[in-house]
Amino acid sequence: MPENRISRWYFGGVSSSAAACLTHPLDLIKVHLQTQQEVRVRMMGMTANVVRREGYLALYSGLSASLCRQMTYSLSRFAIYETVRDKMNRKNKGLMPFYQKVLLGAFGGFTGGFIGTPADLVNVRMQNDVKLPVKLRRNYAHVLDGMIRVWKEEGIRKLFSGATMASTRGALVTVGQLSCYDQSKQLVLATGYLTDNILTHFLASVFAGGCATILCQPLDVVKTRLMNSKVEYGSVFHCLTETAKLGPNAFYKGLVPAAIRLIPHTVLTFIFLEQLRHHFGEVVVT
């Protein structure tokens, strides 16, 4: 009889960090596209511009901030979601209904989004730095240097600039990723055609990544603009109205690169997570 294993609380952060190492260039290009005031170049053109100006290593600008973000934001939301879900499943001796998964995912994602806001802010700035003129670059050495400089130069409140959007986006993307992944995996297994293997994990995570992309893209655009701004936007509402002036499509600027980045990141995260659970997870006696 196979062992029943559940994830340990930190597996989500480790899995997300490993996935981020592979998908970081896509995230960087997405940020560059979202911070354009007008649509001048597309994904391939933006990639070529970055490589031509700064070299291939520029595609990994801000990697330390990206990893810090995963070990705050993703670790928190996965830890909350999976710990509570597993306890509820054991208590009720059955799987949680979908609406409870959605509520739990929204709470975990909102909390994780707030915790990860400082690292997310520095991540956006470091990624966007390579396309700015040399005189305007912030030149953060790494994520800790960026956080300390923001605190000293702009105040501690600036570290949480865009926290409302980041938290709301975290709630939506966690519903799209974790809740939809759990539910789609449950439905796939219920058909009886597939077992709990890597193909099932792949199919469920592709669906979850698509759901997450559609749900969070408008907020992701506004969050990126807020975090990258200096004095352009006075509030979240101001950013929303200024973005709206560019037309409805402005909220879905960078949708294709966002999907190209978020779907592979989601797939890799859950494949890594399931392998960690299978080999190193906590054994549960049933």
pLDDT tens for each residue of 139-168 = 898 899 999 999 999 998 989 987 888 898
CATH of the domain at 245: 1.50.40.10
In a domain, 225, yes or no: yes
Cα 87 from Cα 197, distance rounded (Å)? 23
In a domain, 186, yes or no: yes
Who wins on pLDDT, 110 or 62? 110
Cα 244 from Cα 263, distance rounded (Å)? 26
In a domain, 230, yes or no: yes
pLDDT in tens, 93-108: 889 999 999 999 999 9
Provide the percentage of residues in the chain whose pLDDT is more than 70.
Answer: 93
pLDDT in tens, 19-36: 999 998 888 887 777 676
Based on the number of CB atoms within 10 Å of its own CB, is 49 exposed (0-12), middle (13-18) or buried (19 or more)? middle
In a domain, 232, yes or no: yes
Domain count, the chain: 1
In a domain, 128, yes or no: yes
pLDDT in tens, 216-256: 888 777 777 776 776 677 777 788 787 777 777 777 776 77
- Neighbouring CB atoms inside 10 A of 175's CB total 25
Structure tokens at 259: 């999907």
In a domain, 28, yes or no: yes
In a domain, 285, yes or no: no
Structure tokens at 113: 């989004």
**Cβ–Cβ < 8 Å for 105, 81:** yes
Q: Mark out the alpha helices in the chain (DSSP H runs).
A: 11-34, 43-54, 63-69, 75-92, 98-115, 117-128, 143-154, 156-159, 163-174, 180-190, 198-228, 236-244, 255-280
In a domain, 286, yes or no: no
Record the pTM.
Answer: 0.83
Give residue 136's domain range. 4-280
